[in-house]
Chain A
Amino acid sequence: MASPAIILIGTFFLVPLIMTFWISLHNWPLLGKHRFIGLDNYQRALNDPAFGTALKFTLLYTLVITPILFVLGLGLAMLVRRKVRAAGVFQSIFFMPVCIGFAAGSFLWLYLGQSQIGPLFDLLRRAGIVDRDSNIFAGMWTALLMVIAMVTWKVVGLQMLLLLSGLQSIPDEVVEAARIDGAGRWQSFLHITLPLLRPTLALVLVFSVAGSLLAFDQFFIMTGGGPSNQTITAVYSIYRNSFISFKLGYGAALSVFLMAILAVVSAFQMLLLRNTDHH
């Protein structure tokens, strides 16, 4: 009964996975003959300033968005953690954008922030944050902030939900006991709630870190990698090498780098989760 699953995962996951390593050792154009070149692609990747910039930008994006999502997610979770009917309604509203795709969300926010005609641009102009003639998507930082705003709107509900379930698994008595012992609201949060929330925290962090390291749709649609290729992410760079320049071998080598980074992140996650099991 499991054979369809085994065949699918074998053919469309395992084979491509092994092939990635094999192709990465070749000069492999889309058409024409491929040629074995050993580790040349890896060497080239290490010296490729474009890929270096893409990796750095991906890390920057990940480092900026992760704490934002975490803090806002936790704030929302504390907010909707009430035993009233309305709390459930607000929870549903905050979670709603999660079911919207990154592509659709990006096209929506592309319009929102569009110079002059965009409603969000108009609000920012009225608030004196942007100039009448400026273009949010023409600057690296402003474009990045716009993407971050979109992603936060779209995914923070999921972080809220995960943190909420973590909060709810902490028995009320534990926190109450600390309060009776004289701990303040902030103290009991810092010393009781946060440590008990650790498994959920690890999970939430990995979700946002892994998701950000793989970012593509939002940058492809909202910035097109610009201005002057400053917002190209790692996956975007793999896409351009493999499917715009058709350097499949080189694209595969970049993929191996990306997998290595993700493996380190996953290992780190396992470590964090395992440590919490003993407590």
Chain B
Amino acid sequence: MTRYMKDVRSSMPHIAWWVVCVCLALVFLYPIYVMLGMALKGPAEQGLIPPTLFPNAPTLENFSRLASVQGLNVFGNVANSVVVTLAATVGTVLVATLAGYALARAKFPGSGILFFLILATFMIPFQAIITPLFMVLKTLGLNNSLLGLVIVYVTFNLPFGLFIMRNSFAAVPHTLEEAGQVDGCGIFGGLRHILLPIVLPGVITTALLTFFASWNEFFAALILITDQDKFTLPVTLTLVSSGQFGTVNWGSLQAGVALTIIPCIVIYVLLQRYYVSGMLSGALK
């Protein structure tokens, strides 16, 4: 009897832990569930008061209607987001890998300055210099252009990427690389065949951080792009939410939100190991 009591008492915290965690998980997942549910509701069900918990007759109508909101070419906007994000990701990885290698391996003219600049970019966010940044892009003819946006994203994701890549390269022993050079690889060959497989986790982390940052970026895209056809997804949502004839189509808006969020969640679930470790190493360094 006493032993039974003891078992109950020791398993109580365990049960309480499960209850608390499950409740919290429901709180965290609830908004995502609501978004999906609303995106799948038909026009009659969307305005019901009180709102229904499950979509009665799930339909993809909201997604197809999204295409006609205010003459908006939403699927073109999705394409813009994909192109800008991929270009920014590839660009950041390339530039950060090259510079990260240089910083980790050799002192070169300007390496001190570059390092100082990186520290400065950490402290001064681009929100604070957006006005002149807009003017620089205008001078270069890169305002209202997706290329301009890509360049801005690459520049402002570089510091994190550089840090991660520099640390990845710094962790590789010199001797390994020298062995490659003796075998006749040359610097670039050595970088590609010997170092790259080892620093691959760093590359994936840099790519993921840039991907999420560029895909979700709102402020610069709002300011630097003025053509509706060139909008990226987050900015496109402002048009959907401003509505037609003063009424917002909440179902279409949540369909747009779903288009924005689902790719992030899929990639997070698939590659969270790299993302989480990257967030940690980026933040703790």
Chain B contact residues: helix, strand, loop or mixed = helix
Contact of A255 among B17, B113, B128 (CB under 8 A): B128
Residues of chain B within 8 A of A243, CB atoms compared: 134, 223
Q: A93-B28, A94-B25, A116-B49 are in contact. Are A252 and B132 (CB under 8 A)?
A: yes
Residues of chain A within 8 A of B158, CB atoms compared: 5, 8-9
Contact present for A235 and B127 (CB under 8 Å)? yes
Inter-chain CA distance A79–B35, complex, in Å, is 27
How many residues from B make CB contacts under 8 Å with A?
A: 91
Residues of chain A within 8 A of B216, CB atoms compared: 100-104
The distance from the CB of A68 to the nearest CB of chain B, in whole angstroms, is 14
- 8 A Cβ contacts from A78-123 to B: 79-80, 82, 86-87, 90, 92-105, 107-112, 114, 116-120, 122
Contact present for B218 and A79 (CB under 8 Å)? no
Inter-chain CA distance A76–B47, complex, in Å, is 36
A251 interfacial contact with B, CB 8 Å: yes
Contact of A216 among B127, B254, B264 (CB under 8 A): B127
Contact present for B121 and A99 (CB under 8 Å)? no
Query: Per-position contact with B for A47-59: 1 when CB-CB < 8 Å, else 0?
Result: 0000000000000
Q: A122-B51, A259-B124 are in contact. Are A2 and B31 (CB under 8 A)?
A: no
Q: A5-B158, A6-B114, A158-B279 are in contact. Are A19 and B35 (CB under 8 A)?
A: no
Residues of chain A within 8 A of B250, CB atoms compared: 111, 114, 117
Contact present for B241 and A203 (CB under 8 Å)? no
Contact present for B132 and A16 (CB under 8 Å)? yes
Contact present for B257 and A12 (CB under 8 Å)? no
B136 interfacial contact with A, CB 8 Å: yes
Residues of chain A within 8 A of B25, CB atoms compared: 90, 93-94
- 8 A Cβ contacts from B223-252 to A: 223, 234-235, 237-238, 241, 250
A20 interfacial contact with B, CB 8 Å: yes
B261 interfacial contact with A, CB 8 Å: yes
* Chain A CB within 10 A, most for which of B46, B50, B254: B50
B4 interfacial contact with A, CB 8 Å: no
Query: Per-position contact with A for B121-165: 1 when CB-CB < 8 Å, else 0?
Result: 101111111111111100000000000000110111010001000
Residues of chain A within 8 A of B276, CB atoms compared: 95, 161
B61-69, B72-80, B96-104 - the one binding chain A: B96-104
Residues of chain A within 8 A of B129, CB atoms compared: 13, 16-17, 19-20, 255
